[in-house]
Every structure is written in C-alpha cells, then in structure tokens.
Amino acid sequence: MSDSEETQLEARLAEQEAFEPPAEFVEQANVSDPSIYEEFEDDWPDCWERAADLVDWETDYDEVLVDDDEPFYEWFVDGELNASHNCLDRHLDSRGDELAIQWEGEPGDTREFSYAELHREVNEFAAALRDLGVEEDDVVTLYMPMIPELPMAMLACARIGAPHSVVFAGFSADALATRMNAADSQFLVTCDGYYRRGDALDHLSKADDGLAGVDHDTTTVVVDRLGDDHDHALGDDHFDYDDLVADHAGADVDPVTRDAEDMLFLMYTSGTTGEPKGVKHTTGGYLSYVSWTSHAVLDVKPEDTYWCAADIGWITGHSYIVYGPLALGTTTVMYEGTPDHPDNDRLWELVDGYDVTQLYTAPTAIRAFMKWGEEYPDRHDLSSLRLLGTVGEPINPKAWKWYYRHIGDESCPVVDTWWQTETGGMMITTLPGIGTMKPGSAGPPLPGVDARVVDADGEEVAPGEAGYLTVDRPWPGMLRTLYKNDERFIEEYWDAYSDSGNDEWIYFPEDGAKIDDDGYITVLGRVDDVINVSGHRLGTMEIESAVVDVEGVAEAAAVGGDHEMKGEAVYTYVILEDGYEEDEETRERVIEGVEEAIGPIARPEEVIFTPELPKTRSGKIMRRLLEDIANDDELGNTSTLRNPDVVDDIEAKVTGD
C-alpha cells in the first residue's frame, strides 16, 4: 500500500464511529442469530440452561434458579459436577492428544501439554495434595507466576474439592499473609522464582516472608522454575513439587462430586475498605457461565489456539485462560513474561509462531503497542487471528481503532468486554457475530443480562447522561457472597438504593456509565475508592494504610490520577510528623512502604507532601478534589471544605508554581 493510501485509510478509520462484524467471521461464528436476545428474554431464567448444557453434569439440576433468600441466589440447584472432570477427563476420548496448554517462558523455553498429559499430571498432583493432608473444602493458596504448574494446581484442587485462592505473584509478602490469614488457608503452592525482562527473580523469599506473617501452621509446596539459575533451600514444612509428583506417578484420583453451589475458588479483590474482599465463586454457575461466554463472545472452538494474555493471578486469567477455554477443550496459550522482552514484538512473534486465533488483552497493553508503533506487528504474519478482545478498563476509540486496524487487519471483530471479579464472567459486550461495534462503548448487555444506567435515586437516566451502572437480575456466574462475611456482601453490592425506598435486589458494581439510544453502554470508570492501574484494581484505603505505616507519616490520602499509559496512576498526598523532612529520602521510604505492603503495581507515581488534607466539615477527606489536582482539572466545589486554603497550597506544590 502506498503512503497516501495508508493515510487515507487512517483518516477514514479515525472518522468511523461504527463497524459491522466481518462477513467471514459471521459465517463461522458460534453465535450469529440476533434472535438470541429475544429468546433469552422470553425464556428467562431457563435460558441459562444453554450455558449449563456446555458442561458435563454428574447429576442433573432440579431448578435453574432459586431466589427465595435474596440476594443469596442459587443456580442449577441440586446439580452435581466436578470442574476438573469438565476441563480434562471429558475431553480425553475425543481430544486426548490435542494440546490443552501451549506455554512459553520468557527466555523462549517452551512446554506443551496435551489433554492426556495435563490430566496425568493433575491426577498426580491431586494425589500429592491429598497425601499432604488437603481435604475437601480446605482453601489452598496458590502464589505463582505464569507457569504451567499454576493451572495444574488449580485443577488438582478442583479435582479434590479444595477451593483455591490464587494470589497474584506480583503482590507482596504482606499481601500474601493477609489473604492466607483471612481464608484460614493452611496450604501454599509457590515456586522458587520466574523470569522478568531477562532476570531470574527470586519469588520464594517473598513467599517465605509472607508465611512468617501467617498466624497458623502451614504446609508449602515449591515448584522449581529456575533450575540452576537460582538455588533455593527448602525450609521445614516445604516440599518439592517434582518430588511429590514423581512419588505419585501414575496415581488416579477420582474427581470429587461437588454440588453446583459448592465453592470452586476464592479470589481476593480490592474494595472500599482496607480489607481485601474474598469473592466466592461456585462450581456449577461459574463454570457454566465462563463456558458460555467463552463460546458466545470469544467464539472459542476446540480446534482454536486461543490466547488470553492476562495473568492467572487475576480473575481474567481464571475465567478465560483456565476454566472457560479448557472446559471447551481448546488449546490455551500461556506466556510467562512481558510484551517488551527481548523486543517490542514479542506478542506478535507468539501470535505468528503458534498461529493464534483469538487474542484477548487489556487496553493498557494496546496503548503501549500503539506508542511503540506498527513496525512491530508489521514484522509478523498475524493473519491467523480471527477475533480480538479487550478487558479491564475503558478503551479509548483511538486505541480501539489501532487494535482493529494494525492487529486485526480490519477483518477481526473486537469485543470490548465489561465485567468484574465479582461477576465471574463477561456481562456487557457486543456478540462478535451479531453486533455493530462502536469504539469506546462496550456494547449492550449480553443476552439474559439486565444492566442499566441509573441516577442516585435508582431512576434510569436519559441516553447520553452519566449515571451509575446496575445489574437488575441475577446471573449464573455471579459471586455468591464474600467469604465468611454475608453482611459485607450485602452492604458492598446490594444496599445502594435501600435509602430511596427501593426494596428490589439490585447489584451495584460501583462503576459510572452512560447509555446511548441503541442501548450501548459506555463504562466510565469506578465511582468508589478503587483505582484502576493498568487494569489492576487497587483500593485507596489499602494504599493509605501502607503509607501511614511508614515511619514519620502522620496522615495520607491516595487517589487515582489520569495516566496516558496506565489509565490511572496512584497519587499519594502525605502529611509528615514534626521532625521529618519533606525530602527525597522520605519520598523513597513512602514508595518502598507501599511496594512492601501491596506490591510494585501500587507504586505511587507521585508523593506530594502537604501540611493538611482538604476535608469536609465532618472530617472526611475530599478525594475528588485531590483527583482534580492530580489531573490538573478545574477544581470542583470547595465551599463545603473546612479548610479551603489548603487546596491552593497543594495545587502550588503539584504544579510547582
């Protein structure tokens, strides 16, 4: 293509507001009949049997939905199944020799597992876990990076009915300890380390530091990822993964029969208070829901080589690297490292090399690719791609179009999927074989999902107006409660409109949104005290308590400020005690404190020292004003402040005026 043709094309794309699904895609799509929306509506809640039909049940369920104790909904009641059987055993006859996992390490080493091989190792590790004393319903914590043993351990836990609680490997030792204590988890599976941008990182020391903060006895299994690149010693109560698996070579472990409503896993996520929330997902509803959305939205077929480039430490990886794709018997790709190592074309090299058919990633990554330039994807043949997806934060139309054009070559639909840890799976997105795509807008709610945009009184807003997102009906993949905390579950998600006399059970995701005339929803971002850094959810209270723990800090506030690449970045405002200097050393100590308490992802972009924080007359910190200052926006109303002068002082510090 000539330069001028290229320029014309870019100009046309820049103006275009709506894109139709490519005909070639529609022809082969798993779901392409628009009547599905009406069918689900007419047949609700029984429409969800379509999701359950994608799963193998040992015992059929009696009822699709039981709602006599709202909001503690139950799905596929009295059904029995096992998730590990669904992801492994049932594929053995038809796809035993086909690849289940295609893994690549950052240094370029590869490992492949057919369904038969994955089944074998999961059985062996399940037997080993049992031998170590893991019983049904014991919570097993998995603190591991992107290595094959992570999904293996998840499936081994599922096989013996032990819920897993995966803690993102980038989280700190303290974060690990908090989560193990909260779940009363006595078992940990971790590893010696992993590769990051060419370095062999020690992970075990961090795990051991975390274990030191756990207030009960623990048993730990350690995977050897780094071999000779990193020697590690096994402490008391530590077992080597390879030895355990070798000791149980050939073992068969019957998948434990689980009730549909039995817990499959726990996933801790950030909320408004400092305490992470233990989101509980169940076996029947969750597995059905992620299978259905993988089928309908990601268009997964068994013969695909599907790649979700997220980390299994977050919900996206649970639902769309492990459970959804493996339940459907496809090949799921895993990559250990970063997209810029050894060069900025690493992802495209993988897509090209493995003939990846679907790519599901985050807007923060797409913004980085765009900044690096199209020369990197242009080096490779990406024609194997059939569908592109994004998740985790709003995607701006410019990045959407860049992805569509330079990665998808205008021949792949792009699904912008809105959902949360709590929803288990996707909720708002176009169906790729049906819906017109509008860059920047996720799309309509999925068939059967009732999402709306309302004002503070719960009334639906007019098209184009900003409001709050709500979900007005339950869905199979929904969280069932917060672990051992039903009260907080209700307070956090179901209580928003009780003051305005609304007695219906409406789920409140804590996101702002607007809706257009076609019912397309654009998600604007969080309305609670959660910061979304590169698609990672962080609680302001968690960050603030980390900063206040730093010696010499009297008080602190953390807010999210706009950031070109990360979407949002952490800004911390800090008041020091008398006798401490507002200098570089103190700033470093604040940053280190946050990294130690949470992890490098929460590292503050700016530490701003201030003599006071803007507070309302009732003493509440006005975070919104601090956000305006961080963003250099016009300041909102300051008249309700007890100390309006402080705002000028802080602004002067941030802008250096």
CB atoms within 10 A of CB 102: 22
Residue 428 DSSP SS3: strand
Taking the complex as a whole, how short is the minimal distance between the CB of residue 513 and ligand WTA, in angstroms?
9
Taking the complex as a whole, how short is the minimal distance between the CB of residue 524 and ligand WTA, in angstroms?
8
Of all helices (H) and strands (E), which one includes residue 121?
helix 115-131
82 versus 269: smaller Cβ distance to ligand WTA:
269
Say which amino acid occupies 390.
Answer: T
Contact predicate 51/288, CB 8 Å: yes
Of all helices (H) and strands (E), which one includes residue 521?
strand 521-526
Say which amino acid occupies 493.
Answer: Y
Taking the complex as a whole, how short is the minimal distance between the CB of residue 118 and ligand WTA, in angstroms?
25
79 versus 509: smaller Cβ distance to ligand WTA:
509
167 versus 613: smaller Cβ distance to ligand WTA:
167
Distances (CA, A) of 211 to 23, 173, 219, 462: 54, 8, 10, 52
Contact predicate 608/571, CB 8 Å: yes
Half-sphere exposure of 20 (CA within 13 A, CB side): 5
525 versus 552: smaller Cβ distance to ligand WTA:
525
Which tokens sit at 486? Answer: 């039903």
Place of tokens 């089944």: 119
526 versus 615: smaller Cβ distance to ligand WTA:
526
Binding site for ligand WTA (CB under 6 A): 269, 314-316, 391-394, 416-421, 442, 509, 511, 523, 525-526, 532, 537
Residue 82 DSSP SS3: coil
Taking the complex as a whole, how short is the minimal distance between the CB of residue 151 and ligand WTA, in angstroms?
18
255 versus 394: smaller Cβ distance to ligand WTA:
394
Contact predicate 508/496, CB 8 Å: yes
Taking the complex as a whole, how short is the minimal distance between the CB of residue 269 and ligand WTA, in angstroms?
5
Q: Which of 291, 271, 256, 239 has the alpha carbon at shortest distance from 128? A: 239
Contact predicate 572/548, CB 8 Å: no
294 versus 417: smaller Cβ distance to ligand WTA:
417
Place of tokens 């103006």: 15
Taking the complex as a whole, how short is the minimal distance between the CB of residue 252 and ligand WTA, in angstroms?
35
358 versus 532: smaller Cβ distance to ligand WTA:
532
Which tokens sit at 448? Answer: 């059967």
189 versus 290: smaller Cβ distance to ligand WTA:
290
241 versus 507: smaller Cβ distance to ligand WTA:
507
Contact predicate 637/579, CB 8 Å: no
515 versus 550: smaller Cβ distance to ligand WTA:
515
Q: What is the dihedral of CA 291, 292, 297, 303, to 10 degrees?
A: 50
Of all helices (H) and strands (E), which one includes residue 553?
strand 553-563
161 versus 535: smaller Cβ distance to ligand WTA:
535
Phi, psi of 126 (to 5 degrees): -60, -40
Tell me the chain's radius of gyration from C-alpha atoms.
24
* CA pair distance 320, 336, nearest whole angstrom: 16
Taking the complex as a whole, how short is the minimal distance between the CB of residue 340 and ligand WTA, in angstroms?
22
134 versus 391: smaller Cβ distance to ligand WTA:
391
Contact predicate 519/536, CB 8 Å: no
Taking the complex as a whole, how short is the minimal distance between the CB of residue 451 and ligand WTA, in angstroms?
12
* CA pair distance 579, 496, nearest whole angstrom: 44
- Could you tell me the sign of the dihedral formed by the alpha carbons of 512, 517, 519, 522, in that order? negative
Chain-centre distance for alpha carbon 459? 30
Taking the complex as a whole, how short is the minimal distance between the CB of residue 46 and ligand WTA, in angstroms?
27
Which distant-in-sequence residues (6+ apart) come within 8 Å of 530 by Cβ?
270, 271, 272, 510, 537, 538, 539, 540
Taking the complex as a whole, how short is the minimal distance between the CB of residue 620 and ligand WTA, in angstroms?
23
Which tokens sit at 283? Answer: 């076996």
Q: What is the dihedral of CA 105, 110, 112, 117, to 10 degrees?
A: -80
Q: Pairing mode, if any, of strands 606-609 and 387-391?
A: unpaired
Taking the complex as a whole, how short is the minimal distance between the CB of residue 89 and ligand WTA, in angstroms?
28
Taking the complex as a whole, how short is the minimal distance between the CB of residue 509 and ligand WTA, in angstroms?
5
442 versus 630: smaller Cβ distance to ligand WTA:
442
Taking the complex as a whole, how short is the minimal distance between the CB of residue 603 and ligand WTA, in angstroms?
18
Q: Pairing mode, if any, of strands 63-66 and 305-308?
A: unpaired
Which distant-in-sequence residues (6+ apart) come within 8 Å of 8 by Cβ?
none
Taking the complex as a whole, how short is the minimal distance between the CB of residue 122 and ligand WTA, in angstroms?
26
Taking the complex as a whole, how short is the minimal distance between the CB of residue 442 and ligand WTA, in angstroms?
5
Q: Pairing mode, if any, of strands 74-77 and 63-66?
A: antiparallel
188 versus 310: smaller Cβ distance to ligand WTA:
310
Place of tokens 């009780």: 498
Minimal CB distance residue for ligand WTA: 421
